[in-house]
Structure 1
């Protein structure tokens, strides 16, 4: 019996990973859902999944949550700016529990990316490299679902506004990345993906923003074209639309990263883990709207 813990198990990524584990035949009794809010995990508990409450900021609770666990799917935290310390707490709890494998969901090209999100992910990778734990790093690309909010606005205006130039974005559906993570963490002991220090760059087929505009058009049924602006103009428009400054910075920074090629990578690793082609942008956005 191999007990697998999934952290952040009530988040969109973690929940999708748990569903995949159960769908792959992992017994519910062998899955531990580590969550911050037990009430949100009622559906998992009803299916027989063990629910343990622990916040990434609570080392004591994390140690209790990972006790008796063999493998951990370590879903990166959502609190930007606090993740280096919080992630170290998770790693230390896994060390204390003597887990045999940690699978960490990081960021595409974290070691070279100019994205503002990259430093915390890279710090976590380095902490895992210094740990006696066997660790596999899954560097996840940008979610296609990040553009779900653009479907209606693009349909209404006929424009997808951005500052990515002719950069290529190798995005992927969140569900595909979660499925791949579940495949790795539940894989056989002799799997090549379980070798300590393995780093997989998980991305889908790359497209440009004009092609993303075409995908938005497919989903919405309206004509959509891409209008490229400078980063400053992009920030001004987003601010004028009422978005908070941190969100504006994130979106503008992401487009700048796309322009530099930071979110472009081959789709081989993700397709291999899935055993099929990853969802296209249009497919993922259509699924997100259901």
Structure 2
């Protein structure tokens, strides 16, 4: 029986496969799937089983999930197709006889007002009705901010619509480690983990942390959600994605991306990476 990781060519999927290997799971006991297996050839070279899986092509899934014991379902990025794609993957996991599916949902998926939440909530409900499962409700990624550092430093400002909302962001590596723990240990069936970093921050506090790390003054520009969406589209972000991101910031302004559950720290058995540490790593 195997541990299957979907979307293994993506950033979170790759880190999860690495975390499983670091926890001592034999490469032959891991199945990494992707729509394009050429992007995960490096895993095959290390002995990981590599299979093609495209949630939009149900016929590709039985072979991809064959022998699956535990499966990590990483949420897909195409929002308007997400629920249908997830249902196909869940149905295939049922047919494969999986004993547990872990799903990467979003923080406070059942109560969040963010436009992203309904697709996650619908997936959670469908999964609970069909398989033993665990919900990994991931908060925001610190990399969503550190990837912007060149633009922030060039413009001297961090812009957003999160206002004074507190954000419990963590690194992808921390979320991946949590997924690996759930996939390799027992006692997680039926659990809902609200996952976020130990050190919450506002956008203004993050701007201050960037200033401290770089020695340059970085201001925080507070915008409305509409104005932030316009800023993003002006920077080349597709309009649909820009509105999703701006709406996520609006939800953040209401503390919907804040958690003090401590679930992430407990799962990984150590403190989560701090914003300062993530900034320093990105600047190296």
* Structure 1 residues not aligned, in runs of 5+: none
Tell me if 1:275 matches 2:273.
Answer: no
Number of the residue aligned with 1:106: 105
Residues 66-85 of structure 1 correspond to what in structure 2 (within 5 A)? 66-85=65-84
* Structure 2 residues not aligned, in runs of 5+: none
Number of the residue aligned with 2:50: 51
Query: Using the alignment, how far apart are the partners of 1:17 and 1:270 within structure 2?
Result: 15
Query: Using the alignment, how far apart are the partners of 1:232 and 1:57 within structure 2?
Result: 32
Query: Alignment partner for residue 256 of structure 2, among 259, 262, 270?
Result: 262
User: Measured at CA, do residues 226 and 115 of structure 1 come closer, stay the same or move farther in structure 2, by a change above 3 Å?
Assistant: same
Q: Considering only aligned residues, what root-mean-square deviation do their CA atoms show, in Å? A: 1.5
Number of the residue aligned with 1:198: 191
Tell me if 1:246 matches 2:245.
Answer: no
Number of the residue aligned with 1:146: 144
| Contact 1:72 1:99 (8 Å CA) reproduced | yes
User: What is the CA-CA distance between 1:246 and the residue it aligns to?
Assistant: 1.7
User: What is the CA-CA distance between 1:267 and the residue it aligns to?
Assistant: 4.8
Number of the residue aligned with 2:91: 92
Tell me if 1:216 matches 2:214.
Answer: no
Query: How many positions carry a matched residue from both structures?
Result: 283
Tell me if 1:128 matches 2:127.
Answer: yes
Query: Could you report, residue by residue, the CA deviation over 1:136-159 in whole angstroms, capped at 9, with x for unpaired residues?
Result: 010000101111243122222221
User: What is the CA-CA distance between 1:282 and the residue it aligns to?
Assistant: 2.5
User: Measured at CA, do residues 135 and 157 of structure 1 come closer, stay the same or move farther in structure 2, by a change above 3 Å?
Assistant: same
User: Measured at CA, do residues 21 and 185 of structure 1 come closer, stay the same or move farther in structure 2, by a change above 3 Å?
Assistant: same
Query: Could you report, residue by residue, the CA deviation over 1:79-103 in whole angstroms, capped at 9, with x for unpaired residues?
Result: 2110100000110000001111111
Residues 23-34 of structure 1 correspond to what in structure 2 (within 5 A)? 23-34=22-33
Query: Could you report, residue by residue, the CA deviation over 1:233-274 in whole angstroms, capped at 9, with x for unpaired residues?
Result: 323333333433123212211210111111011151000011
Number of the residue aligned with 2:221: 227
| Contact 2:156 2:218 (8 Å CA) reproduced | yes
Query: Using the alignment, how far apart are the partners of 1:35 and 1:154 within structure 2?
Result: 33
Query: Using the alignment, how far apart are the partners of 1:41 and 1:243 within structure 2?
Result: 27
Query: Using the alignment, how far apart are the partners of 2:225 and 2:10 within structure 1?
Result: 31
Query: Using the alignment, how far apart are the partners of 1:238 and 1:69 within structure 2?
Result: 40
Secondary structure in structure 1 of the residue aligned to 2:110: coil
Deviates more, 1:62-71 or 1:234-243: 234-243
Secondary structure in structure 1 of the residue aligned to 2:73: strand
